[in-house]
């Protein structure tokens, strides 16, 4: 028996789903060579594979339900006396029974003829007559045996035809059921691979370092400095630099003694708020490229002596992972009262974030490698300023039009932050943004 078209299509979908996409390792480890990433399925491919596998599974579920109904109906029909195959079995069994009765009667007739021949011994006339009767009975028995054999063969053939029909029906359902099992396995593998691709990976080569941020700032002063983002990885990335400034002792909702602005190339945007912000979106950043974002920090004229710090990091994505995280760097600096004479002021030095500074998903212990110095450069540079003629500016139009990802970016960007300002502890939870319709 052949599969009907809907069942055959569903079975084919389940069996032919490309498992190669599911078995590849989607979450690329930090520092994975570019040659290896090219052999990996992209995030978009994994997403499509998961959607296709889900659709194939749903079709296989429907096909299994239809196949179950079909096999139950077929078996019920085959068990009906009105079905041709079952009717043939009944007729053949009846004929075989009648042939068996005829054979038994012929065997009795032979036995009776043999007894008659034995009784007729000594009487020539009766003996000849008895011998002829025996020969006739034996001939009838031979015919009855042949007829019984033929009837038995016909009955066996009819039974076999009925059994074959039952087996074919069950086998057809078994094919659909097996397709459902394979479709479920493919779906689970695809979902697991897609989920693994969503996991955040660390790239130490994606650095965000401050250039020109002083270690001391006097109340009433204005400081211009640069955030230098460098793609020292082997990936082509979409990057959103993460920036946060905090003065120790300030509480949530309190007006900060620091006002920080960043340049989008045509004007300045206030950083604002008491939580990390993504600024200066870089749509395409190739390996070896860097981008400079101009920032300005104004210290309130009434600011008193206090410790402050800034956090810088890079949130990114590429074709293989929607969540690529560069290391976070912390810069500690001091605020001095108005009229202070700080003398020679060195630049603030990048250091590891505090225990509660960086609580990003998938994060292990912060790297002990301090990374390249803030003054370190790369041959290819991209700068988010109005005078920029960089590669990144030409590819993305404006590196920081709104501070958010472009409409064509695969994933949106968001951050979640918990601030415990009263205790002087800042819990910066940085997680890669994921739009709800991408889940």
Tens of pLDDT, residues 63-91 = 999 999 999 999 999 999 999 999 999 99
Tokens (6 digits) for 369 = 């490698």
Average pLDDT of span 262-291: 90
What confidence score (pLDDT) does residue 358 get? Answer: 75
Chain centroid offset of residue 408 CA: 21
Q: Give 367 or 344, the one with higher predicted confidence.
A: 344
Query: How do the residues of the chain divide into helix, strand and coil, expressed in percent and rounded to 5?
Result: 40, 25, 35
Tokens (6 digits) for 228 = 């230098």
Average pLDDT of span 202-219: 96
Average pLDDT of span 1-11: 37
Q: Give 200 or 383, the one with higher predicted confidence.
A: 200
What is the DSSP-derived secondary structure letter of residue 436? G
Q: Which residue, 436, 411, 33, 429, is CA-closest to 240?
A: 411
What confidence score (pLDDT) does residue 408 get? Answer: 26
Average pLDDT of span 34-58: 86
Rg (CA), the chain: 43
What confidence score (pLDDT) does residue 290 get? Answer: 94
What confidence score (pLDDT) does residue 17 get? Answer: 43
Q: Give 271 or 206, the one with higher predicted confidence.
A: 206
Average pLDDT of span 223-250: 95
What confidence score (pLDDT) does residue 272 get? Answer: 76
Residues in the chain: 439
What confidence score (pLDDT) does residue 168 get? Answer: 95
Stated as kind and residue range, the H or E segment containing 351 is: strand 350-351
Of 120-134, 356-370, 412-426, the poorest mean pLDDT is in 412-426
Residue 38: which pLDDT band, with cuts at 50, 70 and 90? low
Structure-token match 């397709």, residue found: 179
What confidence score (pLDDT) does residue 102 get? Answer: 95
Of 288-297, 303-312, 357-366, 427-436, the poorest mean pLDDT is in 427-436
What confidence score (pLDDT) does residue 1 get? Answer: 35
CA 340/CA 305 separation, integer angstroms: 10
Instruction: Say whether pLDDT at 254 is over 90.
Output: no
Instruction: Say whether pLDDT at 403 is over 90.
Output: no
Of 139-153, 154-168, 350-364, the poorest mean pLDDT is in 350-364
What confidence score (pLDDT) does residue 32 get? Answer: 53
Q: What is the mean pLDDT of the chain?
A: 78
What confidence score (pLDDT) does residue 123 get? Answer: 79
For 151, list phi and psi in degrees, rounded to 5. -65, -40
Instruction: Say whether pLDDT at 416 is over 80.
Output: no
Residue 347: which pLDDT band, with cuts at 50, 70 and 90? very high
CA 178/CA 14 separation, integer angstroms: 9
What confidence score (pLDDT) does residue 37 get? Answer: 55
Instruction: Say whether pLDDT at 392 is over 80.
Output: no
Instruction: Say whether pLDDT at 25 is over 60.
Output: no
Tokens (6 digits) for 160 = 């076999």
Q: Give 385 or 78, the one with higher predicted confidence.
A: 78
Instruction: State the CB neighbour count (10 A cutoff) for residue 433.
Output: 20
Average pLDDT of span 6-29: 42
What confidence score (pLDDT) does residue 40 get? Answer: 85
CA 213/CA 335 separation, integer angstroms: 12
Average pLDDT of span 180-186: 97
What confidence score (pLDDT) does residue 439 get? Answer: 35
What confidence score (pLDDT) does residue 39 get? Answer: 73
CA 128/CA 117 separation, integer angstroms: 8
């Amino acid at each position: 028996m052949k599969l009907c078209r809907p069942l055959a299509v569903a079975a084919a979908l389940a069996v032919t789903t490309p498992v190669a996409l599911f078995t590849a390792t989607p979450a690329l480890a930090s520092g994975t060579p570019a040659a290896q990433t090219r052999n990996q399925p992209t995030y978009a491919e994994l997403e499509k594979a998961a959607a296709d596998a889900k659709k194939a599974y749903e079709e296989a579920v429907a096909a299994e339900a239809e196949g179950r109904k079909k096999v139950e109906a077929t078996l019920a029909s085959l068990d009906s006396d009105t079905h041709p195959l079952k009717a043939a079995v009944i007729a053949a069994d009846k004929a075989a029974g009648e042939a068996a009765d005829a054979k038994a009667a012929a065997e009795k007739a032979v036995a009776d003829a043999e007894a008659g021949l034995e009784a007729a011994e000594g009487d020539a006339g009766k003996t000849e007559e008895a011998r002829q009767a025996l020969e006739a009975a034996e001939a009838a028995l031979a015919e009855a045996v042949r007829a019984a054999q033929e009837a038995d063969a016909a009955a066996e053939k009819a039974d076999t035809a009925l059994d074959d029909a039952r087996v074919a029906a069950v086998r057809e359902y078994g094919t659909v059921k097996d397709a459902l099992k394979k479709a479920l396995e493919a779906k689970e593998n695809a979902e697991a691979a897609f989920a693994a691709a969503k996991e955040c990976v660390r790239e130490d080569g994606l650095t965000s370092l401050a250039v020109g941020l002083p270690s001391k700032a006097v109340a009433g002063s204005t400081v211009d400095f640069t955030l230098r983002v460098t793609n020292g990885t082997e990936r082509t990335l979409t990057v959103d630099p993460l920036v946060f400034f905090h003065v120790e002792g300030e509480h949530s909702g309190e007006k900060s003694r620091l006002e920080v602005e960043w340049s989008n190339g045509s004007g300045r945007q206030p950083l604002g708020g008491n939580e990390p912000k993504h600024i200066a979106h870089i749509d395409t950043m190739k390996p070896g490229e860097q981008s400079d974002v101009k920032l300005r920090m104004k210290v309130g004229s009434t600011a008193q002596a206090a410790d402050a710090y800034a956090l810088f990091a890079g949130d990114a994505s590429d074709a293989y992972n929607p969540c690529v995280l560069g290391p976070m760097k912390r810069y500690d600096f001091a605020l001095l009262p108005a009229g202070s004479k700080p003398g020679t002021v060195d630049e603030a030095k990048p250091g590891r974030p505090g225990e509660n500074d960086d609580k990003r998903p998938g994060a292990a212990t912060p790297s002990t490698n301090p990374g390249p110095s803030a003054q370190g450069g790369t041959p290819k540079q991209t700068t988010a300023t109005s005078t920029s003629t960089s590669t990144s500016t030409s590819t993305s139009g404006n590196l920081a039009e709104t501070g958010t990802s472009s409409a064509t970016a695969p994933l949106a960007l968001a951050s979640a932050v918990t601030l415990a300002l009263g205790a002087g502890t800042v819990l910066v939870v940085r997680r890669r943004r994921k739009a709800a319709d991408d889940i």
